[in-house]
């Protein structure tokens, strides 16, 4: 008998709790962590995106967009008073694709909540099932499973199943999924995602056309290539421009100008699409680096490390302790992407960064807005930066004056590059 799939739920405080539906003898003592699923409300609903058949790229994209539509529906109408927590559904062996979803908590025990959820999910045969969680007097949690009847409403399927706590896996369950959904190891993987998007995002074809104009393998010229990374408001723009002027170097930026006009479109899409867009932007930049580094040094404002760190911090739920460990392959540079000679990571204190942000008023991406509101997310981005390998990041304190930071950066470049 196949073991039940498991659930990883992000609790308040960024802790992760792991559960399974259908477990030991109901006569056993209840497990306290299982009761943490529902909190004081005592009722909740499990909603997961459908599994992508065969793990194909087009199926993954459809599942991701379907989950995004579900999230919009959950945040409005009669369900807006409910609380949502991120949820992952995974196989115990880690081989099956991870399903993403939500636990919806109904603090008011409203009789219309399940009806509203069923209406939102629809009644198409073979559509998503709805797991209704209820607690009993012994603090045990049970799931009632509901499924659509093909235009005839919804019905309960089978008996109630007990929800039990399970051991936390050694690595976060989303890690095996990241190379095909967020941190793409090569150009071909990211390209396949945007190919699947062409029917509903016309700009995806324009991006693909630009990528196809770039050779698949490019070589760096004789001049050094220096990438400058950092969170928003750490001084990247100022430093990259100043260093470029001082070294008479070409200044490039990722994503490149030729696709930046479509950032807003892709930023509004699910992670798999958004990250594929930024990943392919890096390959366009690599082609520009190859041309410019023949003639002069090259300074690059963000590159692959930004793409990877934000994806890791977004997709790996929970706190810092749940990030991939140091030296994990997810931190390795893509094998077909031109490498820089040096990567500098500018850092400032959280207080100084907030002070700088308040004086800017610039439009920011979803992740940059999250950096301000969520200190755990910011710490996960910073930790991921510091764990990058081959090449790693050399950390630079960007708190001093502009002139001091510039001199420090120039000295590091002189000591590390010809």
User: What per-residue confidence (pLDDT) applies to 109?
Assistant: 66
User: What per-residue confidence (pLDDT) applies to 1?
Assistant: 38
* Alpha carbon of residue 84 to chain centroid: 18
- Distances 331 to 1, 141, 216, 233, 322 between C-alpha atoms, Å: 36, 38, 22, 24, 15
Rounded to an integer, what distance in angstroms lies between the CA atom of residue 198 and that of residue 219? 30
* Alpha carbon of residue 18 to chain centroid: 20
Average pLDDT value over all residues in the chain: 87
Residue 5: pLDDT over 60: yes
User: What per-residue confidence (pLDDT) applies to 189?
Assistant: 96
Segment among 33-47, 100-114, 143-157 with least mean pLDDT? 33-47
Segment among 6-15, 73-82, 122-131, 241-250 with least mean pLDDT? 122-131
Residue 53: pLDDT over 60: no
Segment among 72-81, 212-221, 253-262, 305-314 with least mean pLDDT? 72-81
User: What per-residue confidence (pLDDT) applies to 349?
Assistant: 79
- Let me know: does 162 contact 131? Beta carbons within 8 Å: no
- Averaged pLDDT, 96-109: 82
Residue 383: pLDDT over 90: yes
User: What per-residue confidence (pLDDT) applies to 26?
Assistant: 60
Residue 105: pLDDT over 50: yes
Residue 153: pLDDT over 90: no
What pLDDT band is residue 80 in, cutting at 50, 70 and 90?
confident
What pLDDT band is residue 24 in, cutting at 50, 70 and 90?
low
- Averaged pLDDT, 17-43: 71
Segment among 100-114, 200-214, 378-392 with least mean pLDDT? 100-114
Pairwise pLDDT comparison (290 vs 363), residue with the higher score: 290
pTM of this structure: 0.90
What pLDDT band is residue 267 in, cutting at 50, 70 and 90?
very high
Q: Degrees (nearest 5) of the Cα angle 139, 144, 150?
A: 165
- Averaged pLDDT, 363-381: 70
Residue 69: pLDDT over 70: yes
- Let me know: does 53 contact 60? Beta carbons within 8 Å: no
Backbone region of residue 209 per phi and psi (left: phi > 0; alpha: psi in -120 to 50; beta: other values): alpha
User: What per-residue confidence (pLDDT) applies to 240?
Assistant: 95
Q: Structure tokens of 378?
A: 């910011």
Segment among 137-141, 235-239, 258-262 with least mean pLDDT? 137-141
User: What per-residue confidence (pLDDT) applies to 4?
Assistant: 73
Identify the structural domains of the chain with CATH numbers, from first to last: 6-165 (no CATH), 219-257+281-416 (3.40.50.300)
- Averaged pLDDT, 103-120: 82
CB-based burial label for 27 (10 Å; 0-12, 13-18, 19+): exposed
Q: What is the pLDDT of residues 291-302, one digit of tens each?
A: 999 999 999 999
Pairwise pLDDT comparison (21 vs 388), residue with the higher score: 388
């Amino acid at each position: 008998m196949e073991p039940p799939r498991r659930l990883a739920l992000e609790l308040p405080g960024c802790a992760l709790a792991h559960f399974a539906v259908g477990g030991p003898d109901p006569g056993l003592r209840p497990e306290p962590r299982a009761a943490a699923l529902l909190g004081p409300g005592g009722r909740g609903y499990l909603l997961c995106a459908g599994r992508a058949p065969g793990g194909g790229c087009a199926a993954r994209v459809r599942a991701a967009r379907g989950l995004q539509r579900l999230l919009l529906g959950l945040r409005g109408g009669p369900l807006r008073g409910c609380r949502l927590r991120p949820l992952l559904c995974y196989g115990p062996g880690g081989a099956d694709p991870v399903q993403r979803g939500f636990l919806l908590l109904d603090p008011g025990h409203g009789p219309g909540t399940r009806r509203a959820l069923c209406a939102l999910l629809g009644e198409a045969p073979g559509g998503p099932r709805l797991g209704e969680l209820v607690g009993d007097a012994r603090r045990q949690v049970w799931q009632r499973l509901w499924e659509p009847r093909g235009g005839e409403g919804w019905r309960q399927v089978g008996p109630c199943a007990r929800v039990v706590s399970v051991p936390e896996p050694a690595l976060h369950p989303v890690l095996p999924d990241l190379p095909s959904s967020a941190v793409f190891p090569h150009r071909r993987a990211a390209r396949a995602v945007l190919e699947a998007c062409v029917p509903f995002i016309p700009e995806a074809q324009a991006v693909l056309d630009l990528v196809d104009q770039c050779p698949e393998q490019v070589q760096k010229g004789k001049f050094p290539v220096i990438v400058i990374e950092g969170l928003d408001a750490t001084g990247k723009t100022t430093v990259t421009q100043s260093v470029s002027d001082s070294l008479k170097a070409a200044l490039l930026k990722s994503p490149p100008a030729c696709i930046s006009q479509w950032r807003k479109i892709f930023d509004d899409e699910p992670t798999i699409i958004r990250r594929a867009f930024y990943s392919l932007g890096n390959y366009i930049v690599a082609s520009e680096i190859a041309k410019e580094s023949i003639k002069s040094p090259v300074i690059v404002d963000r590159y692959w490390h930004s793409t990877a760190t934000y994806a890791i911090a977004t997709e790996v739920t929970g706190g810092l302790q749940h990030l991939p460990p140091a030296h994990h392959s997810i931190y390795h540079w893509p094998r077909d992407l031109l490498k820089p000679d040096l990567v500098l990571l500018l850092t400032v204190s959280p207080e100084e960064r907030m002070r700088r942000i308040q004086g800017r008023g610039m439009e920011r991406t979803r992740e940059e807005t999250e950096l301000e509101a969520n200190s755990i997310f910011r710490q996960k981005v910073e930790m991921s930066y510091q764990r990058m390998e081959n090449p790693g990041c050399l950390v630079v304190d960007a708190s001093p004056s502009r002139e001091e930071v510039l001199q420090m950066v120039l000295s590091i470049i002189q000591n590390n590059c010809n």
